[in-house]
Structure 1
Amino acid sequence: MTKVVIIGIPGETGLWLADLDAGTVTPLNPTGDLATASNLRKAGGIIVKGIDLAVAVSSAQVALSGHFDG
């Protein structure tokens, strides 16, 4: 099972690499096909692959409270 995800959120121009095993999130400089996908995202595209739940919340406190505004 994959334990690394690439994250991009609206208003954040860069991408982030989250390594779930290591517990780290680091900036990612995309190249190749990933750079192409990143450019599509910057133009308003939404790209989802291999993720079954993703929710943006305003803070860790909101997430830890169990709040979900769908």
Structure 2
Amino acid sequence: MAKAVIIGIPGEEGLWLADLDAGTVKPLNSTGELATASSLRKAGGIFVKGVDLAVAVSSAQVALSGHVDG
């Protein structure tokens, strides 16, 4: 099972690393194949691997309330 997730969202220049064990989210300096995937993302591409649910919400409060922004 995955213990970390790399996140990139529209409007956010860089990537983020969410470490599920540590409970942290930190900026990630992408290199190698990850840098290639990130450059495709900047051009409008979407890359998903090993994630079965991902939803961008406007705030943590929205997520904690159980709502999904439309």
**TM-score w.r.t. length of structure 1:** 0.96
Report the alpha carbon displacement of residue 69 of structure 1 after superposing the two structures with TM. 3.8
Counterpart-to-counterpart distance in 2, 1:56 and 1:68: 8
- Over the aligned positions, Cα root-mean-square deviation in angstroms equals 0.9
- Report the AA paired with residue 16 of structure 1: W
Instruction: Give how far 1:56 is off.
Output: 0.3
Partner of 2:3 in structure 1? 3
Percent identity reads: 86
| Structure 2 unmatched runs, 5+ | none
Structure 1 stretches lacking a partner, 5+ long: none
Q: CA deviation at 1:68?
A: 1.8
Q: TM (normalized to structure 2)?
A: 0.96
Aligned residue pairs, count: 70
